[in-house]
Amino acid sequence: MEVIKLREEYIKLGQALKAAGIVDSGVIAKLVIQDGAVTVNGEVEYQRGKKLHDGDIVTVNGETIKIEK
């Protein structure tokens, strides 16, 4: 499980995918998200700009990212 530490109050979903090394660019993040391959707290998420806060769990193709403060 990858852990991303927040510097601000939140991080956007596309930025979190890049920070975790799951995608190389925002364009690829957009495509992965639009394909329905990303869940946030168990729900499929289609918005690249979705704000993630402390405690959120993101899953992409079997990889898990936890957002922490």
Q: What does the pLDDT look like over 41-65, one tens digit per residue?
A: 999 999 999 999 999 999 998 999 9
Amino acid at 5: K
pLDDT the model gives residue 50: 97
Regarding pTM above 0.85, the answer is: yes
Q: 14-38 burial by CB neighbour count: b if 16+ within 10 A, else e? A: bbbbbebebbeeeeebeebbeeeeb
At the top level of CATH, the class of 2-68 is: alpha beta
d(CA 2, CA 19): 10
pLDDT the model gives residue 3: 96
The domains of the chain are located at 2-68
